[in-house]
Copies of this chain bind each other. A is one copy, B any other.
Amino acid sequence: MVMTGKKDAVAPRLYDTPPSVRSVEKRVLIGSRQGAPHFVMRHFTIAPRGHSPEHAHPWEHEVYILAGRGRVRTDDAATDLRPGDFAFVAPMDKHQFVNAGDEPLEFICVVPLAGDDG
């Protein structure tokens, strides 16, 4: 059995508690509810002027940029992200994803099961 679905048919969860997090939508595409044994594929949409929290945690991120213009900030650098770019955030690396453009920033972000709250 192969499970398939459409991103737009997945209900988003909104994270919007400024100033730490602003205008972030998360869709869990493939996770423990779908039977995934190890890692979770999520789709994020960050609105213009929005951003994820600046934080660090014991699990990694593997990110692929789908649309928009973004930036990933770390302790000592900021790197622009465009569609077709990827980013690896190692465990315990401080990081923040920011929409740096005028259109929604969309990306895939994969984390271990322990790193997603569903």
State whether B4 touches A81 (Cβ < 8 A). Answer: yes
> Which among B1, B39, B82, B93 is the interface contact of A38 at CB below 8 angstroms?
B39
State whether A64 touches B108 (Cβ < 8 A). Answer: yes
Measured between alpha carbons, how far is A1 from B92 in the docked complex, in Å?
9
State whether A89 touches B2 (Cβ < 8 A). Answer: yes
> Which among B29, B38, B88, B95 is the interface contact of A112 at CB below 8 angstroms?
B38
The number of times this chain is found in the oligomer is 2
State whether B84 touches A7 (Cβ < 8 A). Answer: yes
> Which among B7, B38, B62, B95 is the interface contact of A85 at CB below 8 angstroms?
B7
Residue of B nearest to A112 (CB): B38
Whether a CB of chain B sits under 8 angstroms from the CB of A79 is: yes
Whether a CB of chain B sits under 8 angstroms from the CB of A37 is: yes
Whether a CB of chain B sits under 8 angstroms from the CB of A14 is: no
Whether a CB of chain B sits under 8 angstroms from the CB of A11 is: no
